[in-house]
Amino acid sequence: MRSGLYYGWELTGGGGSPAAVDLYGEMLEQIELADHLGFDTALIGESHFVDGDLTGSVVDLLGALAGSTRFIRLGSAGRALALQHPARAAEDFAVIDLLSNGRAILGVGAGHSEAAFAAFGVPFDERRARFEEALDFIAHAWTSDAFSYGGRFTRFPGKTPENAETPFAHEPYEKPFRLQWERAGLEPKHLAVTPRPVQIPHPPIWVEAQGEDDVALAVRHGHAILPAPALSDAEVVGLYRAYTAGMAAAGRSLTGVERPVIREVFCAETQAEAVAIAGEPLRAVYAQHAAADALGNGADASLDRLMAERFVLGDPDQVFERFKTLQQEAGINHVICRFRVPGIEHEAVVRSLRLYAGEVITRLRS
Amino acid sequence: MEFWLGLYGMQSPRVHPRSWAGLYDEVVEHAVFAEEVGFDSFWLTEHHFWYDGYCPNLLPVLAAIARRTSRIGIGTGCSLLGLHDPLRDAEDKASLDVLSNGRLLLGLAPGYRPEEFEGLDIEKKTRGRRFYEAVDVMKKAWTGEVFSHHGEFFHYDDLRLEPVPLQRPHPPIWVGANRTRLQATNIGKAGLGFWEGPSMSLELFTRNAGIYKEAARAAGHPESAIKCGLFRDVCIAETQEEALRIMDEDLLPMYEEQYVAYGYVPEATGSRREMLAHPVFREIVEASFVGTPDQIIRKIERYREAVHFDHFMPRIMHISQKKDRLFRQMELFAEHVIPHFRGAS
């Protein structure tokens, strides 16, 4: 079982850009340390125009980390593909993959923030259809030298005889550009999304799963799922049961398929210490989720219940045992820990990371 | 006077194929070296859907450079706003300015290659208007206040961006100019920096810089906002003979690749001699700064006598370059040319 780190929208701003310099700096330092300590993966959740949220630009953060780390895999989480032209996501993650020499993970989602869709002028009620088409487009882009694509929302190129009501007259293939394509042996009526990523056939795509719709979509495209961070252990187990059944029904092999889960984790010498440091900051974050009814079923947010259902706060043995249980129940093979939420100081996060790396990573691997 | 080092696009062209991953590894290493020897900033260049893999997003690469350096400026030369969503650009550029502790420099341009507009399904002929509207949107977003915008292409209501750039009100903006009077006028009107391309003659640079400055003053922009930058291909060596050899082996093959590919020069007749006789090629050879450090200094001085500028970008990185030769040129430029102009204004 692999271990990773997760950072999400709880990278709270409000302190202006000088404070953001420190917040970004701490996050990058933590991930760079994790790279040295042997963590496998770091994911950063992307969201836009959520008040106080600082992670609108995950590609920048991943780029910085690609330059400063050597081994750790680097990915987005829940990137809402519908918010931009899908060629841009294919380009961006090819660049991350090249910068990191094959360590990129494209974590995507249908999106759930109406504010973000409104900001980017994309109809919220089309988000699933747009998301699914974008997934399809990106798979084409990453596995074709040159292609054309005529979807419901995406035409690539804009005007070709196949996909345009009015085919192009002389653009886009006028001199002096046409020869460029012919020399490369490409059909002028197609375009290629370049450069190509390092990983073959392409960087892994992890689909954020809130419910069974998302699971079904991931199965259709043959991608891994990444259960949404705020789900309970039981909900995660349920999603993986649906995923396993769906993959089997679709005749897709589960061999080598990653089964990640994001959990809130704090590792200390004793459980009492872990709870003393991380309990209240995490409870406060989940109180916000509960207020927004994001936990489902009107769940309350008492710390005891949150610890029983979601949080992994404990000494190394307890953390290990909890993940072993998830592995047995849901077939999890990759635990991605959020060690930091607002209110947990950088130094405390570093202690938790070090302890986890020293006492838990290797035991989970074997 | 500031010295910018450019321009890297991480291309693997037909005449000199490379591993893309290798190019991305090298660009970071080169930026680290550029900082060590004393360049003020380091610049990348963007295109989309090109067969050679021309870098389509500069910001993550600049972020990698920022994380491995501490002082050097990081620049987009140019970021093609005619192709971008200005809201996402505002987010990404602001975050990068924060990540880099306020070191971002923005070279912006509308973009011009038809494939790029076709690929992203944007009407190319709208690019000029899109460009200035996109600049406007980004500036509004970067105030950090709640903003709305209703223009020809973009519509936003009650948004507030966080984080905003660390540099206030925003990172310096330069616009990559083409040859036309109209563009020089528009850049001046908008009060943005005027940055001239590599192949324009001294006469054309003088004319367009004059048009630019006049338009900027007429629009009431302060003198501090009126700034010109010069971008030249540079081959520098201890002897002129060696500099010419570098031009022959590194610089000319780059243009050979581009101009033959663009169809300016028919491939069938593409011997070096025939190409050199072609007007586009002659222009680039004449505009390039090739020689010893003293000769380069004199060329820069000659241009500065005609047009006052405080920013010079030598493009030393061409095609098929060997690392030791490239680094030697960076060292020579930094040891001899930069100190000559330090303190000059």
Domain shared by A240 and A314, yes or no = yes
What is the pLDDT at residue B168?
A: 95
Range of the domain at A300: 2-144+194-365
> What is the largest distance, in Å, between two alpha-carbon atoms of chain A?
72
The span from the CA of A179 to the CA of A186, in Å, is: 10
pLDDT class of A191 with cuts at 50, 70, 90: confident
pLDDT digits (tens, 9 = 90+) for B312-335: 999 999 876 788 999 999 999 999
Residue B342 contacts A where some CB pair is shorter than 8 Å:
no
- Write the CA distances from B258 to A123, B15, B275, B304, integer angstroms: 41, 10, 12, 29
**Looking at the 3D structure of chain A, how many domains does it have?**
2
Question: In sequence order, what are the residues at sequence separation of 6 or more whose Cβ sits closer than 8 angstroms to the Cβ of residue B320?
Answer: B15, B16, B249, B250, B253
A214 and A348 both lie in a single domain: yes
The alpha carbon of residue B3 is apart from the nearest alpha carbon of chain A, in Å, by 24
Type of residue at B84: H
Percentage of chain A modeled with pLDDT above 90: 73
* Partner-chain residue, chosen from B67, B154, B261, that has the shortest CB–CB distance to A179: B261
CA distance A114 to chain B (A): 13
Q: What is the reported pLDDT for A183?
A: 63
Verify that A163 and A43 share a domain, yes or no.
Answer: no
Answer whether B285 touches A (CB < 8 Å): no
* Domain edge (last residue) among A191, A217, A250: A191
DSSP 3-state of A77:
strand
pLDDT tens column, A202-230: 999 999 999 999 999 999 999 999 999 99
Same domain flag for A162 and A124: no
- Which residues of chain B does A21 touch, with a Cβ-Cβ cutoff of 8 Å? 98-99, 101, 166
Q: Which residue of B has its CA nearest to A86?
A: B120
Q: Residues A272-329: pLDDT tens digits? A: 999 999 999 999 888 887 776 665 554 567 899 999 999 999 999 999 999 999 999 9
Nearest to A99 among B61, B119, B263 (CB): B61
Looking at domain B2-240+289-341, does it have CATH number 3.40.50.720?
Answer: no
CA angle A44, A50, A56 (to 5 degrees): 40
Do residue B96 and residue A157 have CB atoms under 8 angstroms apart?
Answer: no
Helix runs in B50-126, H state only: 58-68, 86-99, 114-119
Helix (H) or strand (E) holding B203: helix B202-218
Chain A neighbours among B 60-89 (CB < 8 Å)?
60-68, 85, 87-88
Residues A214 and A352 in one domain: yes
CB of A151 closer than 8 Å to CB of A123? no
Q: Per the CB < 8 Å rule, is B155 touching A98?
A: no
pLDDT in tens, B38-79: 999 999 999 999 888 999 999 999 999 999 999 999 999 999
Q: Is B262 on the interface with A (CB under 8 A)?
A: yes
Q: Which has the higher per-residue pLDDT, B251 or A168?
A: B251
pLDDT value of residue A170: 37
Same domain assignment for residues A222 and A130: yes
Residues A68 and A182 placed together within one structural domain of the fold: no
If asked whether residues A126 and A155 sit together in one domain, one would say no
Q: Is the bond leading into A342 cis (omega within 30 degrees of zero)?
A: no
User: Does residue A209 sit in the same domain as residue A126?
Assistant: yes
Smallest CA–CA distance, residue B313 to chain A, in Å, is 24
Tokens read off for B24: 């991305």
Q: What is the pLDDT of residues B283-301, one digit of tens each?
A: 888 899 999 999 999 999 9
Q: Are residues A242 and A210 in the same domain?
A: yes
Token pair for B319: 């095609």
Give yes or no: residues A76 and A162 share one domain.
no
CATH number, domain of A225, equals 3.20.20.30
Pair B315, B233: CB distance under 8 Å: yes
> CA A48: distance to chain centroid?
14
Shortest distance between the Cα of A253 and any Cα of chain B, in A, equals 31
B140 at A interface, C-beta within 8 A: no
The three-class DSSP label of residue A272 is helix
Residues A67 and A163 in one domain: no
| Residue B265, both tokens | 């020069």
